[in-house]
Amino acid sequence: MKTTKKKITVKDLDRLIVIGTSAGGLEALKEFVEHLPIDFPAPILVVMHISADATGKVLIDTLNSAGKLTCVHATAGMQAKLAHIYFAPPDHHMLIDSSGRLMVTKGAQENRYRPGIDPLFRSAAVAYGNRAIGIILTGYLDDGTAGLMAINRCGGICIVQDPSDAEYPDMPNNALGQVRADFKIPISQMGVTLTRILLDKLPKQVKIPKDIVRESEIAERVLSDLPSVNALGDQVPFNCPGCGGVLWQISEGPLLRFRCHTGHSYTAKVLISEQTKKIEETMWTALRMFEERRNLLTTFSKSQSGASAKSSMERAEASQVHIDRIRKILKSDDRGVLENTPD
């Protein structure tokens, strides 16, 4: 008996795929696009962590050569089209509205990054609800986990690269630890899986939670928004590493997160990493100051005699004690705090 393949109609073309990746992302995305057909029936929006001074041209050129879909950098107001892949430009967040138009903003960094994965995923969850499909690929730490949770809570589909298939499994592992993924698969299976999903009946539509809408609006407006962040959680006695302001602990969901009223956002792991970085910077500053003090006291003692010279040398020796202690701390292996924070 001859089977008829379901014809894709206009009603099927209102789905959206958003992808987040970091370390190892170029090779992962290259393999991903190789498995997509030229008539792929949905737009794909991608955030990959890259430095602010990068152009992203190598990424775009590589993927255009590797696959059949058109890959471009997003620009503000651009209409997302089927069979196109849109990348967040360097140092800008990429968002999307319900009409499929892209927004490109200079909002506050989230999880130390701009572009950030969470802002894109959140905007997709709010704009597309159960029509959004979120994918987390290889990378460090846990950017994208909160965004994938938002897609899950809004009725969308969540796909996570199998950690054993990822060059850097942190991001997939963290996502799987917080979100019940609909699919945990290697990249080689994603093309056929997405094609099947796009032909399937939509999941059940759910009401978009207010807290997700608020966080999406903060990123979209690029404004200080004290009332909105107050509604998201309670103030805590921690400072924002990005601006020095007060942080609020987000009370919704199992993932421990923090946000300041200017828009910076951190998971607990990233906040610990940032605090560790600040501590190290402070320790290096203290080391320099103590060394300068010791040197000055030593020089000063040589121009003195008697009790004054002795006092200066004693103070120089006391400074050396602090120098030795700080050096010992700086030489200690603190990578466990940075890279292996508790789950």
Question: Can you give the three-state secondary structure of 159-181, one letter per residue?
Answer: EEECHHHCCCCHHHHHHHHHCCC
264 catalytic? Reply is: no
143 is catalytic: yes
Q: Which of 118, 142, 143, 165 is catalytic?
A: 143
Alpha helices in the chain (DSSP H): 25-34, 57-66, 117-128, 145-153, 170-178, 190-199, 210-221, 226-232, 268-302, 306-331, 335-339
Element (H, E) at 48: strand 44-48
- The SS3 of residue 232 is helix
How open is the CA angle 224-270-88, to the nearest 5 degrees? Answer: 65
Q: Which listed residue (49, 92, 93, 264) is catalytic? A: 49
Core vs surface per residue 17-39: b (16+ CB within 10 A) or e: bbbbbbbbbbebbbbbbebbeee
Residue whose C-alpha is closest to residue 19's, from 43, 42, 45: 45
Beta bridge partners of 72: 86
Q: Are 237 and 251 contacting, i.e. CB atoms less than 8 angstroms apart?
A: no
Tell me, yes or no, if 22 is annotated catalytic: yes
For 13, phi and psi rounded to 5 degrees?
A: -100, 25
> Could you tell me how far CA 239 lies from the centroid of its own chain?
19
- Residues recognised as catalytic: 22, 49, 143
